[in-house]
Structures are given as C-alpha cells and as structure tokens.
A and B are shown apart, each in its own frame.
Chain A
Amino acid sequence: MEIPYTVKPRPDTGLYNAKVGIWLFLASEVMLFGALFSSYILLRVGAPDGFWPDVSTGWPHGLLNIPIGTFNTAVLIASSVTVVMAWAALKAGNFAKFKGFMIFTVICAFSFLGIKSYEYNEKFTHYVVRMKDGTAVTGHFDHEFLHGFLDKANTRRDQKNAGLREANAKAKQEGKAPKELLSHLSNRFLTLEKFGEENVESVKMLVDVPSAFRYPVGMKPPAVGDGSKGSEHGEHAEPGGHFEKEVKLADVQSIAAFIPSTATFFAIYFTMTALHGLHVLGGALVLGYFAFFGRKMWHQEPERLTNRVEVAGLFWHFVDLVWIFLFPVVYLL
C-alpha cells in the first residue's frame, strides 16, 4: 500500500500532504501563542495601578536587556534567511551548499538559545527587596559582599553536611531514615530566609537607578544625570547606573530574584519565552537532523528531502515570527 501525494502534489489542491499538514499545525500554533499573547494583554490591562516594584505591584517596565534582545532578534532573522537559502540549494540540486546553509541556521538557533540563557541568568541574579514600610528597591548584591557571604555560607554548609553524612551512615545501620543534606548557595535565587539561615544582619546592594522606582523611607530619590556615578547616598547616580546601599535585614519584608513567582510580568515573560525556546530547540534538532543525516535520503528520494526541508522551514519561519511579536511586546512596550 502507498499513501498518495506524499511527494508529488495532488493536482486539484496543488499541495503535497505534509504541506497541508504543516499549515494546519501552524494554525493551531497560532492559537496557542495567540492565547498567550491575549493573556498578556488581559493581565497587563488588569494590573493594579502603581509602579512596580511597589507593593501594589503594577507592571514592570524596562527590566529586560534591549541591546541583547535586539541582537538575538537579528540572529533569528538571519537563520530564517539561511533556511530558505538551504532549501533553494536543494531545489538547485546542490547538497553541499544546502548543508552549509543549514549548519549555519542551526548554529544561529543554538546561539539564540545560548544568549537567551545568559539573559535568564541575568534575571536570576537580579533582585527586588521589599521593605516592611511598603517601599522597595531593585538591584544586585555587591560583588565583594556576595562572594564573602557565599564562601562563608558554603563552608558552613560543607561542615554541617560532613556531620550529617556521618549521622546518616549511622542511621542507615540502625535502619532509620537519613536526613537531607544542605545544598550549596549560589548568587541565583537568594531569599531573605537563606540570608537569615546564615545569620546575616545586613546586605550590601547596588541599587538600580531608573527614576520610576520608590526608595526606602529616609532616602531621597537620586538626582538624575549630573554624571558623578555611584555615590554613597545615591544623589548623583545616573539612569542605568546604580549606587551602593547597606540594607538592614531587620527592615526587609522579602528578597526575591526576578523569577516567575516575583511578578506576573516575569511569569508571562518566562512562560512565553521558554515555550518559544522549546520551539527553537525542536526546530533546530529537526533542521540539524536534515543537515547531518539527510544525505542518504538525498540520494534515494531527493524530492522528498526537499519537501521535508520546505516544511521544516515553514515551521522555522513561524518560530521566527513568534519572536518578532514577542520582542516588542515584552522588551519594548
């Protein structure tokens, strides 16, 4: 038995099966991402008034790295061009050229993912500190302070774990349940509780200076733009810069990294970009498969391989298109 129109188009529709299939699949993908974009709009319109990271939450602005995002957009667009060139090379019967363009496409895809994970890490080490008086600041922990803290904390945890391991070995002999070991801390995902466990009284922060943020009571908002950066009291910091600040943990309500649970903006940002990232990964694996393992099919059924590349290319354009919408929506607007 043979399934008709797997390679040659059906005369009355002018399409081969997989092309119909991929367009239908893309229609469903439009509905998937469409639902997420709609959710974005509804959540943003419904967000409480006020400036994030104020307690009344509000909607954060300008927290994503626009230059890097722009570069990543260019990377993805470039890959969309080369995937067409790869398909055109196959149409012209040049497998070597196809392979070159396709490998370049896949490199672009993985570069995109690499850059995206750098951005993710940037967010995981960026913090919002909410104070008990209802105000809040955002920023990073001072490098020197942080490493001093991490060294001390992890040494203590290692010592404690050594003791726990001994106790667990004993417990195992006696048939008791072992106790869980303490995990190492890193500069990601720190919380007030984790600082509390290490008996830290205050943390040293490099507080961000976008003008819209609120500052703790008793601190004047920095006078923006007179050029002397990083002053102790923040009066002379410029936008995009930061100033140092010692924050007493007794005054702090919570410390949270820029992770999904911190604000609805991050929730939808991470959900949408991660889902898009999964699509990039899936597409890259398929395109890479054609580049590296397509030769056999090229010799047996060249038309079939060309069709497959075309269909995968359509998917790749869609993935690109989603990003073209995502970038302005989450980075710029």
Chain B
Amino acid sequence: MNTSTAHAPAHSTASAHGADHGHHEHHEPGFWQKYIFSTDHKVIGIQYAVTSLLFLLFGFLLMMAMRWQLAYPGKPIPVIGHALQAALGDDMANNGVMQADLYNVFGAMHGTIMVFLAIVPILFGAFGNYVTPLQIGAPDMAFPRLNMASYHLYFLGGIVMLASFFIPGGAAKSGWTSYSPLATINDPVHVINGQTLWLIGMVLLITSSLLGAVNFITTIIQMRAKGMTWMRLPFFVWAQFVTAFLLLLAFPPLEAAGIMQLVDNLLKTSFFLPSGLVVNGQQLAVSGGGSPLLWQHLFWFLAHPEVYVLILPAMGIVSEVIANNTRKPLWGYKSLVYATLSIGFLAFIVWAHHMYLTGMGTRISTFFQTTTMMISIPSVIILTALFISLWGGSIRFNTPMLFALAFLPMFGIGGLTGLPLGFNASDIILHDSYYVIAHFHYVVAPGTIFGVFAGLYFWYPKATGRMMNETLGKIHFAGSLLFMNMIFAPMFIQGLHGMSRRMYDGGSTYFGSGVGLDQHILNLNISITHAAAGLGFFQLFFIFNFFSSLVWGKRVTSDNPWQATTLDWQTPTPPPHGNFTTEPVAFRGPYEYSVPGAKTDFTPQNQAG
C-alpha cells in the first residue's frame, strides 16, 4: 500500500512538475515516438488536423470532377481525366469521360470522406484534442494511449477508404447513406467489393470515434482544474462535451447496421433484403424476409445526431472567437449551455424526418415532424445569443473574426431552409432535389468549414508560436465567402425547379428528355462549376499561408496574442508536454472581458482576486 500512496497523483506545482518531467524522461523521444506514436494530446490534435485537412482537400477534388460532369456532360475531364482512366480503368473513365459508375463512386465517397474523414475529425479530433484539455486546465487527456489508438484507427479507416478506389469494381457507389438493398446488390461480380471496404472502413472510424468520445467525456468530467466548475467551462468545452455524447450513443447503432450489412454482403443473409426481390428480371436467391427500412432507421439514428456533431463544435469555436473579438462576455452563456444540452437530447428523436417518403406512415411522420420543429428552437437560441453578443462590442475584424461573423448568417440560411424539409407536406416536393443539397451544404460548408477556418486562424499562434498572415487570410476569407454563396445559392433555385440529385448526367438528361427544365436553370450548372473552381483557387491562399507562416509568420510576442481569458492562452507557446508550468486554478467565468474597474479589458480565468 505504501507504494501506491507514493504514486498517488498530486497537483504538482511548477517546480515539482519540472522536476518530475526531468526525472521520468531520461531521453529525448525519437521521431517516431514524438510525431507518430505520441500520446500528447497536442501532437495528436495536430496529426488529426493535418490528416483531416488533406481529406477535406481530397473530398473537394472529388466534387470538382463531379461538377465538371454536371456542367459539361460527356466531355473529358481536363487535366486529370486520362490519369483517372489509367488508374481506375475504362469502365470508370473511358477516354477521360466520367462514366456513371465513377460519378456514383465519387458521389458516395465525397459524402463519406467529407463527413467521417474530414469534418468530424477536424472538429472533434483536431480542435477537441488540442483545445479541450488546455481550456479545462488539464495536463493531457484522461487516457493518452487510448487517444493515440483513436487517431491510428481513424488513419487506418482512411487508408481502407482510399484503397477501395483501386480494387476491381471501384469504391462504394450507393451514396454515403449506403441504402440497402442497393448497397448489397450493386456489385454482384466481386465478393470483396467497394461496399465491403466501405463497411470495414466505417467500423474502424466508428471505433475510433467511440474511443475518442469515452476519452473526451472522462477528461471533461475528471480532469477539470481546481475551481473550474461546470458553469465556468468555456462554451467550446460544452459543445465538445455534448458532441462526445452524441458520438458515444448514436454511432453504435450504425456499427450494428454496418455489421449486418457486411453479413448481408458476405454471407448472403437477408437483414435488409425483402422477400421476392427481383434484380435484372431475376428473383434474387436469398432467404428474404428482411427490411430495407431497418437500415434506414439505423443509419439515420446515427446520421441525424451526426449533423449536430458537425455543427456544435463549430458553434463552440465561433463562440470563443466572437467573445474574444467583441471584447465582451458571450450574451446568455447559460442559455447557450442549456440550448446545447437540449439539442443533444432532441438530436436522438428526429432521425426519421429523413424518411418521410419511405411510406413508414403518416403518424410516425407527424411525430418526427413535431420533434424536428422542436429542435430548431435551441438552434435558434444559440444563433440569437451569438448575434446579440455582437451588440455594443468594439469588434476587432481580424481573419478569425471575419470567418466567425460569416458563420452566423451562413448557418442561419442553412438552418432556415431546413424548415420546409422538416414539414412532411413540403418535403414531398423538395425531397432528393438540389434544394436538399443546397440546404445541408449551407450548414456544413460555409457554416461548419468557416467555423473550422476561424478556429485554425485563431489557435494557429498557440500551436506554432507564429501568426498567420492577415492579408492572405482576408483574401482567403473574401473569396471563400463569395464563391461559397455562388455555388450553393443557385442550387436552391435548381431544386425548386425540380432538379434531382444523384444524376450523373443531370444536365443532358434534363435537356434532352423534355422534362421542361428551363435552359437558364441548366446553365446554372455551368456557373456553379466555375464558382467551385473559384473556391478552389482561393483555398490556395490558405494553403500557402498555412505552410509559409510556419517559417515566415510573425512571431508572437506574448503567450496570449489575442488577449483572451480562457486557460488555453495562459500556457507557454507552444504548450510543453503537460501543458501548464504552474497548476492552473480557475477563479472566475470564461468570458470576463471589459470588466468595469479592471486594469485590462480582459481578466484571465486563472487571475486571482
């Protein structure tokens, strides 16, 4: 027993901590230990950031190839067309022209990669990992090795997804939703096909997220610094906390569904295959008796909470940036917290609003329509509180703030245009049209991704010790805002005119078939594609800025260049292993800006008195 008491953890003071460090680490960790197998939450956060930004770029490029096909159907894809043919075969890109299969592959993988390999990892894996322990005053995550395992599983899942492009038959091509029976029957030739690898990849990604969620919640419950009570947590931490619960409880049903679909595909079971299913004029030789609706229920049970996983951490980032740059406390901090908790609860009972048109019955539709309208209330509370936070502030218009400010109306457009989709009467017309695409992209692209950019510009100096270039940042912002809207706003119009999503030659089908889409609606396809190219061009400013600032960026002169109040800025820059030089103690709330009578216009949380 003596030994164990000797090992009892203690809040080490500055000197004791330094001594501890020197005592335990006799050698400098090598490259592998420092960058690949690191258990430091900050290194893992950066690993997540770099990997997920690369996936974000890759997902964007898939979309560019699809946009080309929509604007110029049947014309060879410039630059990469023949490379695609060489890499993926004639079935996919004959003479550099995108074939139907390739469009379906890119469509399914664009969604999968953007949601599961880019946005969730960057919000939760990167920002969550890097910032959360700092903001609560913890030396690291509660389970550092589990944290490393989360990243490695995520990385492995990404590799499996990427590898699936190159196997015979190509990657998954049944949409990111992988609806059965389509997902089971669409590649009967290959036993191990793209869908198989998609499912295996998903199981790896889900496991990674689950371990991450366990780690985050434990960390936030157990590792808060002395004095860091629940209502003194920065809003970002609250957002991560609720996000972690969403991942923890919503992902396992998809894991179960994934296992069942995997068994359907490999062992020829009929979980999701109904009796008497006829494919290509032949009755399918399976036992039948399964339910395609079951897959949809299990899938959306995850995928709707997932929507809030995609937006809540972005709201957290935006809140931090807004409080810091308006130099005043967030308006309605408690409302924000309770609204977030309400979203976390309601997110679990709205999933079937994705299924109004499946024939599941009007009573169920009515229930889900009601809950869907209810969940818009806390979302509006959050948005309103953030808008009111701007009122009367002396706003600093730096790059992170510009992105945060743009987030508000962009998310507002995305959210409000969701209401007609939430009512089942109006959804009948809008379902599966470009209107839907425009709606959720407004939430995730100019919404969440702007939140991500705000966070990247905001915490970059903490992670690297150098500022990103403001001029390049503002160019990046202006171009992104302009072209994001030029891409997605016209899609509302296309959708309202009845243009359906998921059609690989959308343009020419509508032109030739006499469906009656006006030429100017089809022409929007071309302008949208040009706008997407413009968006891509302006990201070059960001990429250049990101890397060049590592070398040429202005060095920060203090550990707290934004003069922020939260604990993440009260550490050395960049924070060392173990984060804090003195034990952090929280004496006050997270947003004490412009306190009357205070010497400076910000009072850090760990400032006594």
Contacts and interface: CB of A to CB of B under 8 A. Distances in A.
A32 B249 contact: no
B271 A7 contact: no
Greatest chain B CB density within 10 A among A13, A15, A17, A27 is at A17
A100 interface: no
Interface of B: 1, 3-4, 7-12, 17, 20-21, 24, 139-140, 142-144, 146, 210, 213-215, 217-218, 221-223, 248-253, 255-257, 259-260, 263, 267-271, 275, 286-291, 294, 297-298, 301, 577-578
B257 A35 contact: yes
Contacts, number: 170
Contacts of B577: 1
A183 to B, nearest CB: 17
A24 B253 contact: no
Contacts of A3: 9, 139-140, 142, 144, 223
Contact of A6 (B9, B213, B249, B275): B9
B287 A264 contact: yes
B4 A301 contact: yes
Contact of A28 (B8, B251, B268): B251
Given A48-B275, A57-B288, A7 B213 contact: no
A154 interface: no
A33 B286 CA distance: 25
A29 B139 contact: no
B289 A21 contact: no
A165 to B, nearest CB: 26
Chain B interface SS verdict (over half): helix
A26 to B, nearest CB: 10
Contacts of B297: 42
6 contacts: A5-B9, A21-B215, A35-B253, A46-B291, A261-B270, A303-B4
A29 B11 contact: no
A260 B4 contact: no
The 3 closest A-B pairs by CB, nearest first: A1-B578, A35-B253, A267-B269
Given A35-B252, A260-B269, A263-B287, A271 B1 contact: no
A174 to B, nearest CB: 26
Nearest to A300: B3
B124 to A, nearest CB: 15
B214 A13 contact: no
Contacts of B9: 2-8
B531 to A, nearest CB: 41
Given A7-B7, A31-B249, A57 B287 contact: yes
A24 B217 contact: yes
Chain A interface SS verdict (over half): helix
A183 B127 CA distance: 54
A17 B269 contact: no
A25 interface: yes
Given A21-B142, A302-B4, A32 B222 contact: no
A73 interface: no
Greatest chain B CB density within 10 A among A3, A15, A18, A27 is at A3
Contacts of A47: 289
A267 B7 contact: no
A304 interface: yes
Contacts of A268: 271
Nearest to B12: A2
Given A301-B4, A303-B1, A1 B270 contact: no
A301 B221 CA distance: 24
Given A7-B7, A17-B218, A302-B1, A57 B289 contact: yes
A231 interface: no
A301 B5 CA distance: 9
Contacts of B21: 1
A35 B298 contact: yes
B287 A21 contact: no
A286 to B, nearest CB: 14
Contact of A15 (B7, B222, B289): B222
